[in-house]
Structure 1
């Protein structure tokens, strides 16, 4: 993978990790910030409306795990 692609993938992983952490730590504040009239985004955010905080936090944890999994292969030597 060339350097530009690695950098792009690293940025995507960092965004996933950061967004997941904020979602885990401050779900009541974070979810409302993402409400939108843009149909795909509205569909994603709607899944969390009225859900227990534990479910929102588990989604954040999953997002962190996905971000870490995305970043891991970028640092392998080869």
Structure 2
């Protein structure tokens, strides 16, 4: 069960990273419209190059994490 949860987390990281890399302003704007505690995300909407770079790193870390997970027998 822990491996499945870890793989799910890695997949979410990969997807979020790809979205942040491909469409940074659009992706971050969804977070700005959320609850008050998410409003500081505005700094990323104002800096798309930073958002792209962090998104690429996030996707790479997610892929690295997924690759390190043990294979299951089923």
TM range (shorter): 0.7 to 0.9
> Which one has the bigger helix percentage?
2
The match for 2:50 is 55
Q: CA deviation at 1:76?
A: 5.8
TM-score when normalising by structure 2: 0.79
Query: Structure 2 stretches of 5 or more lacking a match?
Result: none
Which of 24, 28, 31 pairs up with 1:34? 31
**Secondary structure, aligned partner of 1:34:** helix
Instruction: Trace 1:1-78 onto structure 2 (pairs within 5 A).
Output: 4-35=1-32, 36-39=34-37, 41-43=38-40, 45-51=41-47, 53-75=48-70
Alpha-carbon shift at residue 75 of structure 1 (Å): 3.9
**TM-score for the superposition, normalised by structure 1:** 0.76
Hey, which bits of structure 1, 4+ residues long, moved more than 2 A?
36-39
Distance 2:23 2:29 in 1: 11
* Residue 25 to residue 9, structure 1, CA distance change in 2 (3 Å): same
